[in-house]
Amino acid sequence: MKVLSVVGNRPQFVKSAALSLVLRAVEIEEVVVHTGQHYDRELSQVFFEELDLPEPRYRLELQTADAQAMKPGVAATIQREQPDLVLVYGDTNSTLAGARAALAAGVRIAHVEAGLRSGDLSMPEEHTRIEVDGVSSYLFCPDERSQSTLRDEGAVGQIHVVGDVMADASRRFAPLARERYPIPFEPGSYVVGTIHRKANVFQPRLGAIVAGLNSIPERVVFPAHPRTRAQIEKEELELAPHVHVTAPLTYLELGSLASQARVIVTDSGGLQKEAYWYGVPCVTVRPSTEWVDTVVVGANVLVEADPASIAAAVAGARMPDRRPVLYGDGHASERIADVLLATMRGR
């Protein structure tokens, strides 16, 4: 069986890492297509070096987040490789381009991280989730909530609750991260901030978020996405001396830093989950989240882009006394491979 995996940004490299290792182990041929949606080395190439991922067979080098611009390149690789299945991950424009190209080519689609909904249709990611789930033959859900959502929507693909491949990556790579990249601070003595979503990196929200980080009395380590840093400089926003801006960190570097923080402030979907698995409380600067269970159990709080709200949420952030297992046991990749192998045997 041949699968073509479409990846393009930082979270997708992480999600695909654990699954790629399992696919190789069970001798499913995987062809990796890197769209180039993230092309900064620290957001892209370093993943293949750090996580023992095979080099992508195809690098489209598009350097764009435009799904329509990506689609022809993905379509050309599908035509050349003739895969049995196209694997797409999450809710990015690379996900959308991969699904649209596969649909046009008449190739089955498997969506990893299917069924998630934030309920916020102002987010382009929400539209991507709905569209891709609607055309996928195989829907790999992280939990029963996602399964119920797909059933309520009348999804026609096969639905499988497998857990979250990000949990697989966390289980596999977090200990390695702390061993390879020791932090220069006392654990629990600092806050980590990451802000990158389009809605948050333009004024007036970006200025309010910067003011919020400035209002936190503790040391804040702020690995800045290239787009975020460029906008901070363009708008001439001042960060307080205790807010330490760094270049983008590798996945393992960020894993070591974030897993030993007191609080994480983010707008990332993946980091909300990782914070939970690390046992670190999270403050999410978004009006909604697709990972609602982290909010329900009290490990994550949603805040608006308001300086006082951000500072207050960080000051009061605590992990709950009880931390139920969320989003699987770290073996989602094996379950996905089992489904694909059964599909191959049943042809």
The CATH number for 286's domain is 3.40.50.2000
pLDDT value of position 43: 47
Say whether both 79 and 97 belong to one domain: yes
Say whether both 8 and 128 belong to one domain: yes
What tokens appear for 329 in the block? 């046991």
Residue 311 domain-assigned (yes or no): yes
Say whether both 160 and 177 belong to one domain: no
93 contacts 8 by C-beta, under 8 angstroms = yes
Say whether both 159 and 202 belong to one domain: no
Q: In angstroms, how far is CA 321 from the centroid of its own chain?
A: 26
Residue 220 domain-assigned (yes or no): yes
Give CA angle at 276 (213, 225), nearest 5°: 40
43 contacts 229 by C-beta, under 8 angstroms = no
* Domain coverage including residue 69: 2-164+328-345
Say whether both 229 and 198 belong to one domain: yes
pLDDT digit string, tens, across residues 8-36: 887 788 888 889 989 989 989 999 998 98
152 contacts 320 by C-beta, under 8 angstroms = no
Say whether both 135 and 103 belong to one domain: yes
Residue 321 domain-assigned (yes or no): no
314 contacts 192 by C-beta, under 8 angstroms = no
Say whether both 151 and 64 belong to one domain: yes
pLDDT value of position 347: 57
Say whether both 187 and 51 belong to one domain: no
- Would you please indicate which residues are annotated as catalytic (active-site) residues? 196
- How far apart (Å, rounded) are the C-alpha atoms in residues 191 and 11? 21
Residue in 26, 30, 19, 138 with CA at minimum distance from that of residue 81: 30
Q: What is the pLDDT along the chain (347 residues), one digit of tens a residue?
A: 999 999 988 778 888 888 998 998 998 999 999 898 655 555 455 666 776 666 788 988 777 778 899 999 999 999 999 999 999 999 999 999 999 999 999 999 999 999 999 999 988 999 999 999 999 999 999 999 999 999 999 999 999 999 999 899 888 888 889 999 999 999 999 999 999 998 999 999 999 999 999 999 999 999 998 889 999 999 999 999 999 999 988 888 999 999 999 999 999 988 999 999 999 999 999 999 989 999 999 999 999 999 999 999 999 999 999 999 999 889 999 999 999 999 877 65
Residue 322 domain-assigned (yes or no): no
- How far apart (Å, rounded) are the C-alpha atoms in residues 282 and 267? 10
- How far apart (Å, rounded) are the C-alpha atoms in residues 247 and 229? 9
Say whether both 71 and 203 belong to one domain: no
pLDDT digit string, tens, across residues 126-168: 999 999 999 999 999 999 999 999 999 999 999 999 999 989 9
Say whether both 128 and 7 belong to one domain: yes
Instruction: Return phi, psi of residue 89, to 5°.
Output: -125, 135
Say whether both 208 and 299 belong to one domain: yes
pLDDT value of position 52: 66
Domain count, the chain: 2
pLDDT value of position 46: 61
- How far apart (Å, rounded) are the C-alpha atoms in residues 304 and 260? 25
pLDDT value of position 231: 96
- How far apart (Å, rounded) are the C-alpha atoms in residues 110 and 139? 6
Residue 323 domain-assigned (yes or no): no
Say whether both 311 and 332 belong to one domain: no
pLDDT value of position 248: 86
